[in-house]
Amino acid sequence: MKVLVLGGGSDIAAAIVARLAVDRTVSVVLAARDIDAATASMCNAAPRVEFIARRWDATDVEHHQAFIDDVFDRYGSIDLVLCAVGMLGHHAGLTMSPVEVDTMIRTNFAGPAAALAAVGKRLKSQGHGSVLVLSSVAGARARKSNYVYGSSKSGLDAFAQGMGDALADTAVEVIVVRPGFVRSKMTDGLDPAPFSRTPSEVAEAVVAALGRGSHELWVPKGLGPMMSVLRNAPRPIWRRIASNR
């Protein structure tokens, strides 16, 4: 299996690759802004997996099409594209400058969406493949402590859903993954939320969903029904609930 990871420094992405490698041969193209960090993360999680690290900046959208084309042309058919780009902005909102808000939106939404647009074209052309897009429960409904992060994830989530619908008549599947709090280097120093999971636990659920017609995946499963209720809660009630996080 050939895998392209966009956002190669992600602990969740590394855990997914490691889980895939348990019962199949996996080769990986790691696309990351910080190649050294991405290499260290992959070596730690999946030491036996062969990979190539390529420098790639999610916000450099002018070069996304050329980069994606080069990966597909150079390495051949890609079976799985894992979009794991993201930066966290917990407890940030009104304290963020306009530049910081713009950076987060471009990193978490605009940049990855532009890359996925290029990916979708190539996968449709080759006639098969899977796309895993790491969204977040934070995108289901924004709260005051992290509404910039939440809105950026919500945008990517909606984009991925629409892209999946656009590819519904092809052999390309798009799965939107919405984890809750994940104990990783991105959340290091934060108090774990209820239903928190490890990257390995997320990876187990993700790999189990591949090829089974899933369009969205909540991790853990109970988050889906819970958020369907909370999304429709009156705003005064939601504010009280969200103020505890």
Rounded distance, CA 148 to CA 136, Å?
Answer: 13
Question: Could you tell me the residue ranges of all domains in the chain?
Answer: 2-242
Per residue in 33-47, pLDDT tens?
A: 999 989 998 898 888
Point out the residues that are catalytic: 149
Residue from 134, 142, 138, 179 nearest 160 by CA: 134
| Fold of domain 2-242 | Rossmann fold (3.40.50)
The tens-digit pLDDT sequence of the chain (245 residues) is: 999 999 988 888 999 999 999 989 999 999 999 999 899 988 988 888 999 999 999 999 999 999 999 999 999 899 999 999 988 765 567 888 999 999 999 999 999 999 999 999 999 999 999 999 999 888 878 888 788 999 999 999 999 999 999 999 999 999 999 987 675 655 555 555 556 678 888 899 999 999 888 899 988 887 777 777 777 778 788 788 777 55
